[in-house]
């Protein structure tokens, strides 16, 4: 995508991520205005050509759009919610981490003050910002995203999810659930194999292959979930449950933690007790979709 490098951009919040965001805009050729409560954090950006705004109000006025990336949502309100700061008429893109309810509340707060608002989530580490590996998720009014998509492209691979401002936060935590689940499954297997003298580096390529194969099942499994029909095309849940029992027994036999496989088995057993044993594994969506308080 061609970037309109004449667009001035303001970045508020210069932690490690904020510095990376401002640096990416500078590298792409955008006039970049920065502001941070501790102004010394802007020194190296100013040396690269950024302009340090004397006040946060000046920073908001200077850019065609303002990126804010601070500690949390309360910090956002603390900075922008005072009477001295004029936010009306600005385009605010909030890349602060938080919950979907916080994002929706911030969108309402912005609308009440005449501020255009997009919520976002950064699926990348600071060093990846400015490369295609940095995935930046956005949600909110599509017209606002479309108006600034080319400018935001300086940060990485930008994706629009939908009009609900909470979607970026939900995708963010859903992605974290995937990350931790894959890593935990690999650590479980690694712990077991180490008892037989197999090191992590030896197991990793095999584990990666398994993860790739399972990932290929997801589109078909998604069709089952969306249709509410779970024919056992690969295996029935009751078959998986027997294999889970084997995993628990093997873990116990070699002296490895059994908490994770026992949790999986507990959920499968509940689904089987509810009559879903002959159906395929994605039927467990019914268990994942329930908030249990016992």
Is residue 61 exposed (0-12), middle (13-18) or buried (19+ Cβ within 10 Å)?
middle
Whether the Cβ atoms of residue 29 and residue 3 lie closer than 8 Å to each other: yes
Q: 69-80: string of b/e by CB count within 10 Å (b at 16+)?
A: bbeebeebeebb
Is the entire prediction scored with pTM above 0.85? yes
- Return the SS3 of 129: coil
Residue 126, pLDDT score:
97
Q: Tokens standing for 76?
A: 């956002």
Residue 28, pLDDT score:
96
| Closest alpha carbon to 49 in 13, 91, 16, 5 | 5
Residues 12 and 29: their CA atoms lie apart, in Å, by 18
Whether the Cβ atoms of residue 251 and residue 265 lie closer than 8 Å to each other: no
Residues 243 and 264: their CA atoms lie apart, in Å, by 11
pLDDT (tens digit, 0 to 9) for every residue of the chain, 294 residues total? 445 568 999 999 999 999 999 999 999 999 999 999 999 999 999 999 999 999 999 999 998 999 999 999 999 999 998 878 999 999 999 999 999 999 999 999 999 999 999 999 999 999 999 999 999 999 999 999 999 999 999 999 999 999 999 999 999 999 999 999 999 999 999 999 999 999 999 999 999 999 999 999 999 999 999 999 999 999 999 999 999 999 999 999 999 999 999 999 999 999 999 999 999 999 999 999 999 876
Residue labelled with tokens 């600034």: 148
The counts of H helices and E strands in the chain are: 11, 8
| Closest alpha carbon to 77 in 39, 112, 48 | 112
Residue 1, pLDDT score:
45
Q: 3-27: string of b/e by CB count within 10 Å (b at 16+)?
A: beeebebbbbbbeebbbbbbbbbbe
DSSP letter (8 states) at residue 231: -
Whether the Cβ atoms of residue 8 and residue 32 lie closer than 8 Å to each other: yes
In the chain, the domains with their CATH numbers are 9-162 (3.40.50.720), 199-288 (1.10.1040.10)
Helix spans in 153-199 (H): 167-194
Q: Tokens standing for 54?
A: 């004397």
Whether the Cβ atoms of residue 27 and residue 49 lie closer than 8 Å to each other: no
Residue 109, pLDDT score:
97
Helix spans in 73-166 (H): 73-80, 100-112, 142-152
Q: Tokens standing for 2?
A: 């061609």
Residue 4, pLDDT score:
58
Q: Tokens standing for 138?
A: 């956005």
Residue 82, pLDDT score:
83
Residues 162 and 138: their CA atoms lie apart, in Å, by 8
| Closest alpha carbon to 14 in 40, 47, 51 | 40
Residue 294, pLDDT score:
67
């Amino acid at each position: 995508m061609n970037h309109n490098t004449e667009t001035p951009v303001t970045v508020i919040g210069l932690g490690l991520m904020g510095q990376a965001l401002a640096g990416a805009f500078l590298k792409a050729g955008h006039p970049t205005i920065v502001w941070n409560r501790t102004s010394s954090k802007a020194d190296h950006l100013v040396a690269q050509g950024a302009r340090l705004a004397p006040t946060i109000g000046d920073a908001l006025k200077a850019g065609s759009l303002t990126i804010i990336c601070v500690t949390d949502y309360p910090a956002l309100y603390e900075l922008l919610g005072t009477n001295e700061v004029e936010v009306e008429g600005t385009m605010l893109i909030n890349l602060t981490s938080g919950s979907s309810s916080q994002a929706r509340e911030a969108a309402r707060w912005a609308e009440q003050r005449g501020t255009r608002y997009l919520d976002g989530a950064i699926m990348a580490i600071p060093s990846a910002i400015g490369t295609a590996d940095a995935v930046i998720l956005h949600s909110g009014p599509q017209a606002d995203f479309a108006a600034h998509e080319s400018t935001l492209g300086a940060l990485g691979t930008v994706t629009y999810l939908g009009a609900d401002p909470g979607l970026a936060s939900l995708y963010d935590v859903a992605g974290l659930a995937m990350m931790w689940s894959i890593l935990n499954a690999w650590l479980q297997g690694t712990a077991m194999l180490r008892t037989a003298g197999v090191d992590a580096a030896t197991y990793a390529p095999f584990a990666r292959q398994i993860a790739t194969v399972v990932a290929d099942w997801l589109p078909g499994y998604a069709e089952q979930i969306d249709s509410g029909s779970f024919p056992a095309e690969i295996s029935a849940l009751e078959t998986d449950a027997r294999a889970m029992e084997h995993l628990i027994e093997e873990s116990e036999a070699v002296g490895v933690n059994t908490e994770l496989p026992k949790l999986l088995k507990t959920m499968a057993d509940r689904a089987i007790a509810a009559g879903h044993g002959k159906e395929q594994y994605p039927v467990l969506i019914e268990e994942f979709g329930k908030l249990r308080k016992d």
